Every structure is written in structure tokens, then in C-alpha cells.
């Protein structure tokens, strides 16, 4: 009798457990969920996934919004209430309703745009303004953090959007986007070392080389270039970083390889005396040049050595308005990153450059910078240096050994500033 009692007790306990489990997991009838997904301004968003799960993270059903932002699904609900109705899509900040039954549930979602801002060396860049537009209309701005991360929440889903960065010392970024998402942005540095010497410390003076430096600065600085200007002891410069001694100019150039990388651009632009030594080395006469003491002569081989230190992929632009400067191009052809250079010189290794009273410029500077780039091509950065050189040299007033020379390290690819 005792044994049978225990068996009956165990039987009823088992029945109770089974019935309890059946009650918990009972399935409710068909329920309908529908509604609209819009951005914060009320515009419909298509292609949004709306997913229904139960309290045990079990999948129940899903739907996708149409062109009007509408979704609809019919599902059988489990007994694991409450339920979670979530709308999400890449680039949208997801939102979840907690529900117990079917019905109409409309979503109003933010769009997010996020990512990291880095330089060409893959280093994070802080305090960079990242702006987002839609159809040309400004939406929002975020500033990158110390680690380069930026994040924006937008009321509008940018179906025809743009991310833009404008930061001095770097090329502008304009990236087209459709919707939100993660966009890592890489800024490319743009540098210019500009030398213009009219009044020399020891040798004869020139007339308009300081004006040449000024005109190059006034062209490149508004384009965003971080410029360093070296000249004589006069005050005729819009920016002045010191005397154009050989050591000052070389120090400025030698400081750049460590902070530049592939995709960056460095310009070296000079106007002043140039000459050739008894070993047939062309050189730039710097402010402190003393020819017979071998002081202040920036030799073609030294120029090539300094620019050989730049990484492959750094774009190097050379412009020389100096006598004999065509011979410097021959040395530059030997550097390891030669495929990334473009050079324009006023003359051959035996030729001369000229000041011009009518234009108050070195003649080659005038024809390249003002006559061609600014007057013929509107100063637009969308024209290559090769195009500008060809136009300038075709109209230049000297020929023979005084004809302008150029060298393109990669003739298959145009060079742009």
C-alpha cells in the first residue's frame, strides 16, 4: 500500500508539471503587426527590417518596409510575453517597442553617421569638423574626439547625402553617401615650402622674387595649403618664416618626411638666383650665398637627397624660377620616389630666368601662375600641372636654352595640386 501511494503521488506531480508547462508555452492565435517607419522629419524609409521576438529571445516573425515606409506581418504569438518589436537598418539608430498584443506601431528613427578621422600615417586626428548634408542642405556637425572617432545623429535620412571636411593644411573631403552608416575618413596633408629672394646678403640683387613668393602664397594658401615662406630681409611677404638661408630651407624640407605619408602633397617653389659650379652641379643661390666660399649653395644633389627621404606615394611638386634650374631636374629623376614627382623649371641647365618690369614678376612665374593657371584656367585645381605647363611654355617669350623644362615622373597619370 505504501508503494502504490508513492506511485500515485508521483503520477499527479508529473501531470501537474506537464499541465503547467503546457500553459506557459501555449500559442496564441494569429496576431497582426503593422505600421510605418519614418525619419524624425516624417519622411518614409524603405528597406527597414522590423523583427518580433519573445521574452526568451525567440524569433517570431519579421517584415520589411516598402517605398512608403509601411510594414505588415501576421504571426502566432508564443506564451513568452512580453514581446519586442524592433526596427533597424544599417545607418539607423534602432528602436524597440515592448508589446503584449498585435496592433499598429509606428517608428520614428534617427540616422547615425559615425567613423574615425585619420591622417595618411593612420594616426587619429582630433577636433576635425565633420559635416553632413542632404541634397546640399546642411544637417549637422560633429568634431572628432582624441581617438579620431566622430558620431552624428540626424533627423533626416540622407538619401542623397554628403560628408564634408574642410580643414586647413589638408585636402577637402566630399564623400557621397546614401543613408547613414560607418565611414572612416582619411585626410591628405598639403604642404608648400616657398622661397623668394630679391635682396641677397652678399651677391647681386633681383627685382621681383619676393613678389613671386607672394603670388604663390596667395594662390596656394586659399586652397588649404600649409605654407612656409622664406625670403630676404625685406617685409614684402604675406607670411614670413625666416631668412631663406640654406640651413633654414633645408630644415623646413627635412622636417616633412616624418609627418607625411602616401597621398599627401609637398610643393617646393623657388624664385631667385641659380648657378652652376666647376663640377657642373646646378644649385640654388640662397640668401646667404657666397659663391667662392661654398656657403649658401643648395646643390642639385642635396635637393635630390632631401626629397629622396619622402615615402613612396607622397606627391612632390617642384617649381623653379632660377637660372640653370633645368639641370636640377636631371638629379630629381634619380630619387627613389620619382614616380610621384612633377617638376617645372624656367630654363635648361645652361639657360637663364628673367625678371619682367611689365608684370612685376619673374617671367616664368608670371606665365605659369597668372597667365595660364589663373587667367586661362580660372585657378581651378581640376586642371593638371601638365596642362598648365604646356599652355605656359607655348606662350612663353623665350626659347632655346631659355625654354621652360618639365619632368613628369609618371606620364601615365596627371599631377594635380
Contact (Cβ atoms closer than 8 angstroms) between residue 346 and residue 273: no
Tell me, yes or no, whether 166 lies in a domain.
Answer: yes
Q: Are strands 30-39 and 107-109 parallel, antiparallel or unpaired?
A: parallel
Residue 302 lies in a domain: yes
3-state SS track over 16-37: HHHHHHHHHCCCCCEEEEEEEE
Same domain, 160 and 42: no
How distant, in Å, are the alpha carbons of 147, 186, 262 from that of 122? Answer: 11, 8, 10
Question: Looking at 165, 186, 207, which one is the last position of a domain?
Answer: 186
Beta strands 265-271 and 315-321 are parallel
Per-residue pLDDT of the chain (417 residues; tens, 9 = 90+): 334 433 333 323 332 333 333 333 445 678 999 999 999 999 999 999 999 999 999 999 999 999 999 999 999 998 899 999 999 999 999 999 999 999 999 999 999 999 999 999 999 999 999 999 999 999 999 999 999 999 999 999 999 999 999 999 999 999 999 999 999 999 999 999 999 999 999 999 999 999 999 999 999 999 999 999 999 998 889 999 999 999 999 999 999 999 999 999 999 999 999 999 888 899 999 999 987 778 999 999 999 999 999 999 999 999 999 999 999 999 999 999 999 999 999 999 999 999 999 999 999 999 999 999 999 999 999 999 999 999 999 999 999 999 999 999 999 999 999
Q: Residue 10: which residues within 8 A CB-CB, separation 6 or more? A: none
Same domain, yes or no: 343 and 230: yes
H/E run at residue 329: helix 326-332
Question: In this structure, are 100 and 120 located in the same domain?
Answer: no
Q: How many domains does the chain have?
A: 3
CATH number of the domain that 50 lies in? 2.60.130.10
Q: Is 259 helix (H, G, I), strand (E, B) or coil?
A: helix
pLDDT digits (tens, 9 = 90+) for 337-351: 999 999 999 999 999
Domain shared by 177 and 58, yes or no: no
Q: What percent of the chain clears pLDDT 70, i.e. is strictly above it?
A: 93
Q: Do 144 and 231 fall into the same domain?
A: no
Which domain range does residue 56 map to?
A: 28-109
Q: Are residues 268 and 377 in the same domain?
A: yes
Domain assignment of residue 11, yes or no: no
User: Is the domain of 177 the same as that of 75?
Assistant: no
CA proximity to 116, closest of 187, 52, 59, 64? 187
**207-254 pLDDT tens trace:** 999 999 999 999 999 999 999 999 999 888 999 999 999 999 999 999
Give dist(CA 131, CA 63) in Å, integer.
33
- Rounded to two decimals, the pTM is 0.86
CA–CA dist 137, 75 (Å, integer): 42
Same domain, 266 and 205: yes
Amino acid at each position: 500500500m505504501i508503494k502504490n501511494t508513492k506511485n500515485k503521488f508521483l503520477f499527479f506531480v508529473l501531470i501537474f508539471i506537464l499541465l503547467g508547462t503546457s500553459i506557459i508555452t501555449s500559442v496564441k492565435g494569429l496576431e497582426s503587426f503593422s505600421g510605418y517607419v519614418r525619419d524624425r522629419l516624417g519622411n518614409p524609409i524603405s528597406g527597414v527590417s522590423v523583427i518580433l521576438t519573445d521574452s526568451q529571445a525567440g524569433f517570431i516573425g519579421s517584415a520589411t518596409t516598402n517605398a512608403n515606409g509601411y510594414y505588415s506581418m501576421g504571426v502566432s504569438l508564443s506564451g513568452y510575453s512580453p514581446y519586442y518589436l524592433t526596427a533597424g537598418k544599417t545607418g539607423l539608430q534602432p528602436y524597440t517597442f515592448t508589446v503584449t498584443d498585435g496592433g499598429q506601431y509606428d517608428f520614428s528613427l534617427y540616422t547615425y553617421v559615425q567613423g574615425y578621422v585619420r591622417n595618411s600615417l593612420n594616426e587619429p586626428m582630433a577636433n576635425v569638423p565633420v559635416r553632413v548634408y542632404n541634397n546640399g542642405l546642411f544637417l549637422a556637425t560633429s568634431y572628432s574626439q582624441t581617438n579620431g572617432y566622430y558620431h552624428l545623429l540626424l533627423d533626416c535620412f540622407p538619401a542623397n547625402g554628403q560628408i564634408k571636411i574642410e580643414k586647413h593644411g589638408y585636402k577637402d573631403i566630399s564623400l557621397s553617401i546614401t543613408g547613414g552608416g560607418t565611414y572612416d575618413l582619411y585626410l591628405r596633408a598639403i604642404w608648400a615650402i616657398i622661397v623668394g629672394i630679391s635682396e641677397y646678403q652678399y651677391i647681386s640683387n633681383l627685382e621681383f622674387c619676393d613678389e613671386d613668393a607672394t603670388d604663390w602664397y596667395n594662390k596656394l594658401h586659399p586652397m588649404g595649403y600649409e605654407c612656409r615662406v622664406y625670403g630676404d630681409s625685406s617685409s614684402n611677404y604675406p607670411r614670413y618664416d625666416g631668412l631663406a638661408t640654406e640651413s633654414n630651407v633645408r630644415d623646413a624640407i627635412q622636417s616633412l618626411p616624418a609627418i607625411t605619408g602616401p597621398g599627401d602633397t609637398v610643393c617646393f617653389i623657388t624664385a631667385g638666383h641659380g648657378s652652376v659650379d666647376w663640377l657642373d652641379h646646378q644649385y640654388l643661390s640662397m640668401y646667404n650665398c657666397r659663391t667662392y666660399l661654398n656657403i649658401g649653395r643648395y646643390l642639385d644633389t642635396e635637393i635630390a637627397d632631401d626629397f629622396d627621404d619622402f615615402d613612396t606615394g607622397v606627391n612632390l611638386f617642384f617649381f623653379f624660377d632660377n637660372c640653370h634650374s633645368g639641370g636640377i631636374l636631371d638629379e630629381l629623376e634619380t630619387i627613389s620616389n620619382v614616380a610621384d614627382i612633377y617638376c617645372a623649371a624656367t630654363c635648361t641647365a645652361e639657360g637663364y630666368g628673367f625678371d619682367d618690369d611689365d608684370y612685376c614678376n619673374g617671367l616664368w612665374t608670371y606665365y605659369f601662375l597668372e597667365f595660364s593657371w589663373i587667367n586661362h584656367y580660372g585657378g581651378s585645381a581640376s586642371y593638371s600641372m601638365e596642362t598648365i605647363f604646356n599652355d605656359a611654355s607655348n606662350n612663353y617669350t623665350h626659347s632655346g636654352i631659355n625654354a621652360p623644362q618639365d619632368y613628369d615622373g609618371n606620364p601615365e597619370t596627371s599631377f594635380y595640386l
